[in-house]
Amino acid sequence: MRKIIINGGRPLNGTVKVSGAKNSALPILASTLLLSGKASITNVPLLNDVITMMRVLRVLGLRVEYSEPNTMNVWINGKVRHVAPYELVTKMRASFFIIGPILARMGLAKVPLPGGCAIGFRPVNYYIKGLEALGAKIEMEHGFVIAKASKLKGAPIYLDFPSVGATESLMMAATLADGDTVIENSAKEPEIIDLANFLNKCGAKISGAGTQSITIKGVSSLRAADYRVIPDRIEAGTFMVAAAITGGDVLVENISPEHISSIVTKLQEAGVSIVMGKNSARVTAPQGINAVDIKTLPYPGFPTDMQPQLTSMLSLAKGTSVITESIFENRFMHVQELKRMGADIQIEGHSIIIEGVPHLSGAPVRTSDLRAGAALILAGLAAEGETLIDDMDRFIDRGYEKILSKLERLGADAKEVK
Ligand code: EPZ
């Protein structure tokens, strides 16, 4: 079990390059199940979750080869299987979306229910309802969802909630259906647009990605194309907060400014100075951080994946901040650990009330999920003294490529201990 030791209190200064988007690379890799020929996907972050997806695709019968830098070559070489491996899919809850491409390709899919994780129960009812709308027969058996459809038929689908994974899964399934599908109240995240752009490059006919209504005209087959994954907007936001919380001055490069406007706006409201470049953001910490209120919302609202990081930053703000988490039902696991470091936070249902304190003090803390881990790193960078963060491989390595070397290059005293 890998741990991180951080000696805090050092301002971060310098330049950091953001990696490719984890939450775009994962569905794009899953969509290669729909293709014939070899796809070469670049700017893929080498993360535990991406490695897990590589292993899932290999178990399903695909050839997947990684080559430096950040390139994944994927092709189908022989028979594709329809049963997704139990221990791999349940390890990565948000990989359930693979049911769409497996079903569209094979006419049959057997995928384990994701089950709960630290931030919530991760139900899949919107996926099931959507696949049934496309003509699939669905059964549940021994922890697996079994979907059958010799040929999916295009249909109108309405999502009760703009679920990212359900939008991606149903969009992938609909590309090879007979006829047209319209997904109403679809998620609008940039990762949805990235997936649609990749599939359209492979011959799909998807329009409206990024809006609340996506139309997919079914085609008979898709041919692999090469593609470069967009930058990771959450990694970008995380490093911007790292500059703000440590009193530093950091140039965050390789970003898509249009994907982080809600994060930039909120940080500027908190007094952080941010100068946007074409693909960069120059972040300079204020003398003191202002308290702000935040409510997490589906894109383009403030992203839930940045909520833990802002909790850390606002723990040191002047005044009282209120953060409301409207996406997941249990995404405050980092609060207890921040309180161990001296933060003054109360949980009230789906909101937390943060009374800013003058400083945090380093302590041994536990991570519960990927973004909570990032929040504890940020708190450790700002805290006085030493913070020991456990379970790095289980969580932090899942979402932040080479995070320690990136932080050290910015002047952080952060080391890995076995
Ligand atoms: C994606 O998860 C991301 N993961 C998450 O990032 C992100 O937090 C989330 O979208 C919201 O933006 C990937 O893209 C791999 P949802 P996903 O379906 O698709 C409920 C990270 O840290 N729901 O939009 O699983 C669900 O329980 C991860 O990188 C249903 O009720 O999120 C949640 O409360 C964490 N029924 C809400 O919708 C369903 O059928 C949003 O979930 C599906 C979802």
List of residues 6+ apart from 179 with CB closer than 8 A: 153, 154, 155, 217, 218
Query: pTM for the whole thing?
Result: 0.97
How many CB atoms neighbour CB 3 within 10 A? Answer: 16
- Where residue 180 falls (left for φ over 0; alpha for ψ -120 to 50; beta otherwise) is beta
With the most atoms of ligand 1 within 8 angstroms of its CB, the residue from 31, 52, 140, 327 to mutate is: 327
**What is the Å distance from ligand 1's center to 27 Cα?**
13
Phi, psi of 49 (to 5 degrees): -65, -35
Kind and range of the H or E run holding 228: strand 227-228
Residue 170 phi, psi (nearest 5): -70, -35
Q: What is the pLDDT of residue 116?
A: 66
C-alpha span between 410 and 52 (Å, rounded)? 29
| Amino acid (1-letter code) at residue 32 | T
Task: Provide the 3-class DSSP secondary structure of residue 45.
Answer: coil
Pairing of strands 180-184, 156-158: parallel
202 given a catalytic annotation: no
Q: What is the number of other CB atoms lying within 10 angstroms of the CB of residue 69? A: 8
**What's the CA gap between 124 and 310, in Å, rounded?**
28
Which CA distances in Å does 315 have to 135, 343, 387?
50, 6, 16
Residue 128 CA: nearest ligand 1 atom is: 40
Range list of β-strands (E), 98-226: 108-112, 137-141, 144-148, 156-158, 180-184, 205-207, 213-217, 222-223
Q: Give the ligand 1 atom nearest the CA of 124.
A: 40
329 CA: nearest ligand 1 atom: 34
pLDDT of residue 273: 98
Give one DSSP letter per residue of 329-362, joined into a string: S---HHHHHHHHTT-EEEEETTEEEEE--S--B-
**Does ligand 1 lie within 6 Å of residue 165's CB atom?**
yes
Q: How far apart are the first and last CA of the chain?
A: 7
Identify the pLDDT of residue 390: 86
> Number of H helices and number of E strands within the chain?
14, 25
Sequential pLDDT tens for the chain (418 residues):
789 999 999 999 999 999 999 999 999 999 999 999 999 999 999 998 999 999 999 999 999 999 999 999 999 988 899 999 999 888 887 789 999 999 999 999 999 998 667 777 779 999 999 999 999 999 999 989 999 999 999 999 999 999 999 999 999 999 999 999 999 999 999 999 999 999 999 999 999 999 999 999 999 999 999 999 999 999 999 999 999 999 999 999 999 999 999 999 999 999 999 999 999 999 999 999 999 999 999 999 999 999 999 999 999 999 999 999 999 988 999 999 999 999 999 999 999 999 999 999 999 999 888 899 999 999 999 999 999 998 777 777 788 899 999 999 999 999 998 7
Evaluate whether 99 touches 82 at the Cβ level (below 8 Å). Answer: no
Tell me the per-residue pLDDT of 387-415, one tens digit each, with 9 for 90 and over. Answer: 999 877 777 778 889 999 999 999 999 99
CA atoms of 69 and 173, how far apart (whole Å): 30
Say yes or no: CB of residue 315 within 6 Å of ligand 1. no
The Cβ of residue 197 has, within 10 Å, a number of other Cβ atoms equal to 18
Q: Is the CB of 370 under 6 A from ligand 1?
A: yes
The reply to whether ligand 1 has any atom less than 6 angstroms from the CB of 227 is no
Angle between helix 190-201 and 22-31 (nearest 10) = 30
Ligand 1 centroid to Cα of residue 118, in Å, is: 13
Is the CB of 304 inside a 6 Å radius of any atom of ligand 1? yes
Residue type present at position 315: S
29 to each of 9, 22, 55, 101, 395, how far by Cα in Å? Answer: 40, 11, 11, 11, 21
CA 150 to chain CA centroid, nearest Å: 32
Helix boundaries (H) for 32-163: 48-59, 86-91, 99-106, 125-133
Q: Phi, psi at residue 389, to the nearest 5°?
A: -110, 125
